[in-house]
Chains A and B, each alone.
Chain A
Amino acid sequence: MEIAFWGVRGSIPAPGPATVRYGGNTSCVSLRPAGGGLIVLDCGTGARNLGMSLMEGAFGQGRGEASILLSHAHWDHIQGFPFFVPLYYPGNKFHIYGGAQSSAMLEGILEGQMAPQYFPVQTLKNMGAGIDIAAIDEGKPIAVAGCTVRARTNPHGRAGALAFRIEEGGRSVVYASDAGYGAGGPPAASIELYRGADLLIHDSTYTPEDGQRYANRGYSSVEDAVAAAIAGGVKRLVLFHYDQDYSDAEVDALCARARRLLDERGGRGIELSGAIEGATLKI
C-alpha cells in the first residue's frame, strides 16, 4: 500500500512562509492498495492538488474510479471537495462513505456545501462524475478497493469523527484524525481499531500544554497520539492535523516532543514521523 499526504493541517488552511515545509492545506490523504484502485481519506483543501495529479492518469480521460472516506463534515475535511477536479469529468466514478444517520443525510451535507449562495456549481448533479453516497454502519466492515475498511466514532464535536482501519493482505493503516479523548484517554473500541496497525495516522493538533488549554475543542495533543499508539501497539505513528498557528519550527518541536514521550512511556519500538504535505510512505 502506498500512502500520500496532500493536506496535513487542521481547522483552516494556513498559507504563508511559516508553513511551507510541513504544508498549509487541510486534511487529505490518499491510499493506493497494492492490488490497484484508490482510496481518499478526507477532502480538505489538499484534495485540490491530489485531484490535479490524478488528472494525468485515467481520471483525465473519464475512466477513473475512487472511494472517498469522510471522517466527518467539519469544513477542513470537506472544503476541498468542490475543487477536486476529477469530479467534473463525466465517466469518472466516486463512491463516498461517511458518518451520518442515513445516506440521504450525508448527501444533504455535501449538497449544502455546493448550494448557490456558497458555490457557483450549485449542486452535486452539475459536477459531472458518477457519485454514489453511503452512510457507514459502524458495526459492519465494508469492502473498498479490494480492502476491508472498519470504522469507529471517536469523540469530537457534536457528532464525533470516524476513524478508519484499512486492511489489505494482512497490512493495515489506521486514519484517526480529530479525536478528543478527554482525560480518560482513548476508549477501548478505538484502541481495538488501532490494534497492531502497521501505520497509525493520528490527530496531533496540539502540544500537551495547548491540548490542556483547549481541551474543549475535541482534538488530540501529541500526548494523546502517543497514548493511542502505545495502547494500540502500532508499529508506526504519523502525527497529523497540526494547529493552523504552528510554524514549521513548532511542528519540528512537536515531533521531537512526541519522540521523547514515546521513549519515556514504553513506545521506544514505535517508529515516528510528522506528516508532510507531498510526502509518500509505503507499507
Chain B
Amino acid sequence: MRVRFWGVRGSLPVPGPKTERYGGNTSCVEVRSGAGTRVVVDAGTGIRKLGKELAEDEAGRSDVHLLISHTHWDHIQGLPYFSPLYQRGNKLSVYARKRDDLHLHAVFASQTDDPYFPVPFAEAQAEIAFRELSDAAKFEVADVKVACARLNHPYIATAYRLTADGASVVYVSDTAPFSDILFEDEFVERPPSPGAELPAKDRQKLAKMRDGVVRLCQGADLVVYDTMFTAEDYKRIPHYGHSRPSDAVDICREAGARRLVLFHHAPERSDVEIDGILADARALAAQDAAGLEVEAAYEGLEVEIGKR
C-alpha cells in the first residue's frame, strides 16, 4: 500500500517562501492498494494536483473513493478544482459522517452554488455517489477495509483506518485531545477557566472517544495525526480543537503503532519551525523503548507500507 501526501496544512492554504519545503496546500492524503484501489482522505487544495496527475496518467479515467474527515473548508475546498469531476466516465464516491441537520450532498453542492463558484455541482460529468457513515462504521472499498472512529472537534470529525496488503494506515484529523473540552455542535467561545472541572458525563464521553481512537490505531503501520498545536497554542486556544505532537505520541504508544506522521501543520508554521517541532517529537518518542518512528508530513511525501 502506498500513501502519498498532497496537502499537509490546516486552516487555509499558505503559499510563500516560508512554506516551500513542507508545502502550503490544505489536507489531502492518497492511499493506493497493491491491487490499484484508490482511496483519498480529504479534499483540501492538495487534491487539485492529484486530479491533474489522474487526468494525465489514466487517460481521463478514474475511480476515486473520497473519505471526508469533516466538511470544514480546509478539508473540502479543493474538490471543485479536482479535474476528474468534469470528465464523463469517471467515478467519485464521497463518504462522510451522517448528520441529522444536513445531507452530505447538500453540503458539497452548496460549495459550488451561485454566487460562490461558476460551475454548479450538477454540471460535473463524473458519476458521483454519496455515502453517509455512522460513528463506528466498518465497510470495504474493493480490497481496502475501512473502519471509523469519532473525533473531538467542533461539529465532529471522523478518523479512518485503511487496511490492505497486510498493512494499516490511520488518519486522525482534526481532533483536540480527549481531556479538557468535549466538542459537539455548539460554538465554544472561550477556553475553559483554569481549574474548571468537566461534568462527569462529558468526561465519560471523552474517555470512550479516546478508547475508540486508541483501538483504531492499534498496531497500525502508519498514523497520520493532527498536530497543529504547540504546547503554547494549546494553553491559549484549546477551544479550537487541535492536538499537540505529545498527544499523538501518547496515543501511538498506547496503541503500539509503528510510525507517526505529524500532519495538519498550522498556517503560521514556517519550514524551520516544523523542523524544530519534528526534532522535539522524535526526542519525546525516543524516551521509551517502543521505538515509535516520527516524521512530519510534507507535500510529496510517499510512504510504502506492507506488500504491494
Binding site for B on A (CB under 8 A): 9, 11-17, 19-20, 23-25, 45, 48, 72-75, 78-80, 82-83, 100, 109, 112-113, 116-123, 126, 157-159, 217-218, 244, 277
Minimum CB distance partner of B115 in chain A: A73
Q: Is the CB of B23 within 8 A of A126?
A: no
Contact of A79 among B12, B110, B115, B241 (CB under 8 A): B12
Given contacts A16-B20, A120-B72, contact A80 B12 (CB under 8 A): yes
Contact residues in A for B154 (Cβ distance below 8 Å): 116, 120
Contact residues in B for A12 (Cβ distance below 8 Å): 13, 45, 48, 77-78, 81
Q: How far is the CA of A126 from the CA of B25 in the complex (A)?
A: 27
Instruction: Using A75-B80, A80-B12, A118-B72 as known contacts, list a sample of 4 further A-B pairs with CB atoms less than 8 Å apart, ordered by residue number in A.
Output: A13-B25, A78-B116, A100-B115, A123-B187
Contact residues in A for B149 (Cβ distance below 8 Å): none
Q: Produce 1/0 per residue, B107-120, CB < 8 A to A.
A: 10011001111100
Minimum CB distance partner of A106 in chain B: B115
Q: Does B89 contact A (CB under 8 A)?
A: no
Q: What distance in Å separates the Cβ of B46 from its nearest Cβ neighbour in chain A? A: 9
Q: Does B267 contact A (CB under 8 A)?
A: yes
Minimum CB distance partner of A83 in chain B: B12
Q: Is the CB of B20 within 8 A of A218?
A: no
Q: How far is the CA of A117 from the CA of B187 in the complex (A)?
A: 12
Q: How far is the CA of A112 from the CA of B117 in the complex (A)?
A: 13
Minimum CB distance partner of B240 in chain A: A120
Contact residues in B for A73 (Cβ distance below 8 Å): 115-116
Contact of B16 among A23, A82, A113, A118 (CB under 8 A): A23
Binding site for A on B (CB under 8 A): 11-17, 19-20, 23-25, 45, 48, 71-73, 76-78, 80-81, 99, 102, 107, 110-111, 114-118, 154-155, 185, 187, 189, 240-241, 267, 299
Q: How far is the CA of A244 from the CA of B25 in the complex (A)?
A: 13
Q: How far is the CA of A19 from the CA of B17 in the complex (A)?
A: 9
Q: List 10 A-B contacts (CB under 8 A).
A: A12-B81, A20-B16, A24-B13, A74-B117, A75-B77, A75-B80, A116-B187, A117-B72, A120-B72, A120-B187
Contact residues in A for B13 (Cβ distance below 8 Å): 12-13, 15, 24, 45
Most interface-central of B16, B77, B117 (chain A CB within 10 A): B16
Q: Is the CB of A122 within 8 A of B187?
A: yes
Minimum CB distance partner of B174 in chain A: A120
Q: Is the CB of A74 within 8 A of B115?
A: yes
Contact residues in B for A244 (Cβ distance below 8 Å): 48, 81
Q: How far is the CA of A264 from the CA of B11 in the complex (A)?
A: 46
Given contacts A118-B71, A120-B155, A159-B115, contact A15 B240 (CB under 8 A): no
Contact residues in A for B16 (Cβ distance below 8 Å): 15, 20, 23-25, 277
Q: What distance in Å separates the Cβ of A76 from its nearest Cβ neighbour in chain B? A: 10
Q: How far is the CA of A117 from the CA of B156 in the complex (A)?
A: 9
Contact residues in B for A118 (Cβ distance below 8 Å): 71-73, 76, 107, 111
Q: Is the CB of A126 within 8 A of B20?
A: no
Contact of B267 among A48, A116, A121, A218 (CB under 8 A): A48
Contact residues in B for A17 (Cβ distance below 8 Å): 20
Contact residues in B for A79 (Cβ distance below 8 Å): 12, 73, 77
Most interface-central of B15, B107, B240 (chain A CB within 10 A): B15
